[in-house]
Each structure stands twice: as C-alpha cells, then as structure tokens.
C-alpha cells in the first residue's frame, strides 16, 4: 500500500511514523508512507496557500490550486486512488471504514487548517470526507495519524499474529472480551478459573459472553445494528435481568 499525506506541517508526523508497528510495517515494505508539504505547490511568489473567504467572515480558507496540483502530482501514476479529506463535517470514522480502506492500494490524505477548504476541493477532487469524532481539532494531522495507524495494522504481515485484528473491538460489532496474563493470583485478584481450565470450548464461550456483556454495559448503542445468535440473545436477557 502507498499512503501520501498532504499537510502544511510535515514534521508533526516524524515521531509517529518512525516508531513501533508503523516503523516495522515500512521496514517490511507492507506500506510506503510519504508526507508532502502542499505549500511547495503554491504558484505564487510568497507560497501562500490560504485567502479571505468570499462574502466575508472570520478566518482564512485554503485555496484550491495548491491542493489540486499536489494531488495531481502524487496520483499521476495511480489508477484509482482514494483521496480523503480530513474534515469535521465528514463521515464518522469506524473500524469498518478502516477495514475498507485497508483493501486499497493508494490512499491520499489531505490535512486542512484555518477556517476550512475551498468548496471546490470537496466537490471536484476528493472521494471521501472523514471525521475521527464529533469535535474540532486545529488541523487534520492528528486525524491522518489515526487513520494511518488503524489501516496499516490491518495490512497482511504487519502484526505478528494474523488473527489479532479479527478479535479487535468493533471488528465483530462488539467490544473485545477481557484479557489476563500471569500471575494467576495478583495480590488476591484472581484470573477467572475458566481461563486456566485448558478447555478451549468453554474459554471461547466465556470470551464471547464477556464480549457481549461488556458491549451491553458500555456501548449498548452498538447492539442496535448487531445480528445476534440465539445464544447471544439468551445471554442478553440474563444481563438485563441482572440490572433489574
């Protein structure tokens, strides 16, 4: 996969992309990440990338020319790139979206600043608008880091255990079950006996039930769009009775 990030602050990405899983993914050549300062594409003497909004109002607006030209440069050899605008007005980012983007060959992330983008960027250039949450940041850089991290970890060969992403919270529509490690007894706090039993069927059933319980207690909204088995429906009724 190739990921190009268009930003006015490329140094913000240095530490994030040169540590941990993202660094290893690049070393394994599972992904190529390029950070481009789109100010370099401004066609004016002072390299200005923003201007006052037509009609008046507070703040400055990013001009279309530098961004259009930067995207044209990074996509000239790409057949079907996904061009993503980081924006508070965009689609709320989810694990499902991360899984969708992980199947692409080329992503272009555009990080905005100031009051916003010239509307022609939205209408005629991008394929997706994404928001990482219902709040406003000073720019799109942090959102881009979140998207890159969540997508790259899903690429084949990036994580040590290929099954790891399959059990992540949200991948199944539910939150992940609790985890424990040694010691079995830490200051009187004990690991559930079923996890020490060696009975894999019972362990998987316990994990599935705990996953559903945790979702019911912490994120019941997720259950509205989740298809449950008959067994899970029975467990859900148990949880509801426990709360009465």
Catalytic residue positions?
Answer: 88, 115, 153, 168
- CA angle, 215 as apex, 161 and 196 as ends, to 5°? 55
- For 166, other C-beta atoms within 10 Å of its C-beta total 10
**132 marked among binding-site residues:** yes
HSE-CB of 237 using CA atoms within 13 angstroms: 5
**133 marked among binding-site residues:** yes
**15 marked among binding-site residues:** no
Please say whether the beta carbons of 174 and 215 come within 8 A: yes
Distance (Å, whole) CA 122 – CA 116:
11
- For 7, other C-beta atoms within 10 Å of its C-beta total 24
**117 marked among binding-site residues:** no
Q: What is the b/e burial string over 220-232, where b = at least 16 CB atoms within 10 angstroms of the residue's CB?
A: eeeeeeeeeeeeb
**136 marked among binding-site residues:** yes
**143 marked among binding-site residues:** no
Would you list the DSSP string of 178-224? P---S-SEETTEE--GGGGS--HHHHHHHHHHHHHHHHHHH-GGGGG
- For 104, other C-beta atoms within 10 Å of its C-beta total 16
**86 marked among binding-site residues:** no
Taken in order 151, 146, 27, 165, the sign of the CA dihedral is negative
Pick out the residues of the known binding site. 112, 132-137
Pick out the residues of the known binding site for S-adenosyl-L-methionine. 112, 132-137
């Amino acid at each position: 996969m190739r990921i190009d990030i268009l930003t006015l602050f490329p140094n913000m990405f240095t530490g994030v992309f040169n540590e941990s899983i993202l660094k290893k993914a690049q070393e394994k050549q599972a992904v190529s990440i390029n950070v481009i300062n789109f100010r370099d594409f401004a066609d004016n003497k002072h390299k200005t990338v923003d201007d006052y909004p037509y009609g008046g109002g507070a703040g400055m607006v990013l001009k279309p020319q530098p961004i259009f030209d930067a995207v044209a440069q990074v996509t000239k050899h790409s057949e079907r790139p996904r061009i993503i605008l980081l924006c508070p007005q965009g689609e709320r980012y989810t694990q499902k979206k991360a899984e969708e983007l992980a199947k692409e060959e080329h992503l272009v992330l555009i990080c905005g600043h100031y009051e916003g983008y010239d509307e022609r960027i939205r209408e005629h250039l991008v394929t997706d608008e994404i928001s990482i949450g219902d709040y406003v940041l000073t720019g799109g850089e942090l959102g881009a880091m979140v998207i890159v991290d969540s997508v790259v970890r899903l690429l084949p060969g990036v994580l040590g255990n290929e099954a790891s992403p399959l059990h992540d919270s949200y991948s199944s529509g539910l939150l992940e079950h609790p985890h424990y490690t040694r010691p079995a007894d830490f200051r009187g706090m004990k690991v559930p006996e079923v996890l020490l039993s060696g009975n894999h069927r019972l362990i998987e059933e316990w994990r599935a039930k705990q996953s559903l319980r945790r979702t019911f207690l912490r994120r019941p909204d997720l259950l509205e769009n989740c298809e449950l088995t008959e067994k899970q429906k029975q467990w859900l009724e148990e949880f509801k009775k426990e709360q009465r």
